[in-house]
Amino acid sequence: MTFDWEKFLSLANALYNNPPQEFVDENETLARNIISRAYYAAHNIARIKKYERDGEKLTEKKHEKVINYFTIYDNDHGTYIGDPLLMLCKKRGEADYEEDTPCSLNNANQVLLNAADILVEIKKVETPPPAASES
């Protein structure tokens, strides 16, 4: 059975809407975790869609290759998947590695909304990609 990456987004939403009691006053801790889980939900679902379309199993530079696939190689979906995924990747990097960069629950909520939008758009992407038209 394969893991359902949408559960990461469900967990992020649960942390935002109903945080565990011991973290109610830990807004930055919550925000950083919410941002990270929401990004990974979107990233992994996009990564799987990319694999379904091009068959390339990624072993390195996964984040960059998934973002580039949806912004450069599949530019029909760049505006709705690639560009927002790049923004979420940057926010996730700040949340996971930049302790001097504050993370708020407002930022986390925006990331949740963006991740949900990305998932909606990914579901619209055809698998496999449409055949190139011959002229």
Report pLDDT digits (tens) over 72-82.
Answer: 876 677 789 99
Mean pLDDT of the chain: 91
Residue 80 vs residues 8, 46, 95, 100, 121: alpha-carbon distances, Å: 20, 12, 23, 30, 6
Does 133 have pLDDT greater than 80? no
**Main-chain dihedrals φ then ψ at residue 116, nearest 5 degrees:** -60, -40
pLDDT at 39 (0 to 100): 98
Does 58 have pLDDT greater than 80? yes
CATH class held by domain 6-124:
mainly alpha
Three-class secondary structure of residue 110 per DSSP:
helix
Cα atoms in the Cβ-side hemisphere of radius 13 Å centred on 42: 32
Domain map (residue ranges) of the chain:
6-124
Are 122 and 81 in contact by the 8 Å Cβ rule? The answer is: yes
Q: What pTM does this model have?
A: 0.90
Report pLDDT digits (tens) over 85-129.
Answer: 999 999 999 999 999 999 999 999 999 999 999 999 999 888 876
